[in-house]
Amino acid sequence: DAGVIQSPRHEVTEMGQEVTLRCKPISGHNSLFWYRQTMMRGLELLIYFNNNVPIDDSGMPEDRFSAKMPNASFSTLKIQPSEPRDSAVYFCASTSRAPNTEAFFGQGTRLTVV
Amino acid sequence: AQKVTQAQTEISVVEKEDVTLDCVYETRDTTYYLFWYKQPPSGELVFLIRRNSFDEQNEISGRYSWNFQKSTSSFNFTITASQVVDSAVYFCALSESGYQKVTFGTGTKLQVIP
């Protein structure tokens, strides 16, 4: 299995621009998570989906952030407009159908907003 | 609300020393799951172990061992005879039964000096 695939691996953008991060979960996994990692705040859960439906988006920092999961094999996290404080590593993770199983993480997208 | 505390921010040990990483958790549930993940310098998050709240047996996997004590709400991780390749950030995490949401601690950065 190829694991969780995220793209791009690195993104540098100017403040005010729209940024879209992409994630392909492991085939057969039915839960998908978006995390943000910064030095100051550690690993924060932004949103998670179960069977393509958003279950908990309480971690999404602002309305500038939005996430979609149009099908079981693809999800996006969009930031519009981006700000320098959004600079972080964004991880996508997926878990299998069994409850409380471990999450498998992608390699992350390092976002830098200048 | 669930919470995970990793009080040790950074630890340095000399190669071949044993090291224990502490993890203390808070939850109101009687059924919950605990995890440890490793994040090497390359950045990916690697799953190490999952333990449910009904299984207090300690576990050993090679040089790694985990001590789960419900009485003190702790799930500590020991590396025996540490190696340079063990240098990484280690995260402890918690999820409550029936929920896929995982709460991570702030991580402990381990540096193993040759």
Chain A residues in contact with B30 (beta carbon < 8 A)? none
* One-letter amino acid of B76: N
pLDDT at position A102 = 86
Give residue B58's pLDDT band: very low, low, confident or very high (50, 70, 90).
Answer: confident
Chain B residues in contact with A45 (beta carbon < 8 A)? 101-103
Q: What is the mean pLDDT of residues B71-84?
A: 96
Report in angstroms the alpha-carbon separations of B103 from A12, A33, B48: 28, 12, 16
B84 CB-near residues (< 8 Å, 6+ apart): B15, B112, B113, B114
Residue at token pair 């693809």 = A74
B42 CB-near residues (< 8 Å, 6+ apart): none
**pLDDT tens digits, residue range A13-50?**
999 999 999 999 999 998 999 999 998 888 999 999 99
Give residue A1's pLDDT band: very low, low, confident or very high (50, 70, 90).
Answer: low
Distance from CA of B46 to the nearest CA of A (A): 7
- Comparison of pLDDT for B1 and A13, the residue scoring more: A13
The answer to whether residues B91 and B45 touch, using CB atoms and an 8 Å cutoff, is yes
Quick check: B99 pLDDT over 80? no
At residue B15, what are phi and psi to the nearest 5 degrees? Answer: -45, 140
DSSP-derived secondary structure letter, B44: -
**pLDDT tens digits, residue range A61-113?**
889 999 999 999 999 999 999 999 999 999 999 988 777 788 899 999 999 99
State how far the Cα of A13 lies from the Cα of A28, in Å rounded to an integer. 33
For residue A28, give the nearest of A102, A112, A109, A98 by alpha carbon: A98
Picking from A56, A89, A104, the nearest residue to B47 by CB comes out as: A104
The answer to whether residues B28 and B20 touch, using CB atoms and an 8 Å cutoff, is no
Cis, bond preceding A8 (omega within 30 deg of 0): yes
pLDDT at position B59 = 84
Picking from A42, A45, A102, the nearest residue to B101 by CB comes out as: A45
- Comparison of pLDDT for B38 and B96, the residue scoring more: B38
Distance from CA of B34 to the nearest CA of A (A): 9
Structure tokens that stand for B56 in this block: 């207090």
Distance from CA of B15 to the nearest CA of A (A): 26
Chain B residues in contact with A43 (beta carbon < 8 A)? 91, 104, 107
Quick check: B27 pLDDT over 70? yes
Structure tokens that stand for A31 in this block: 């839960």
Picking from B37, B43, B91, the nearest residue to A89 by CB comes out as: B43
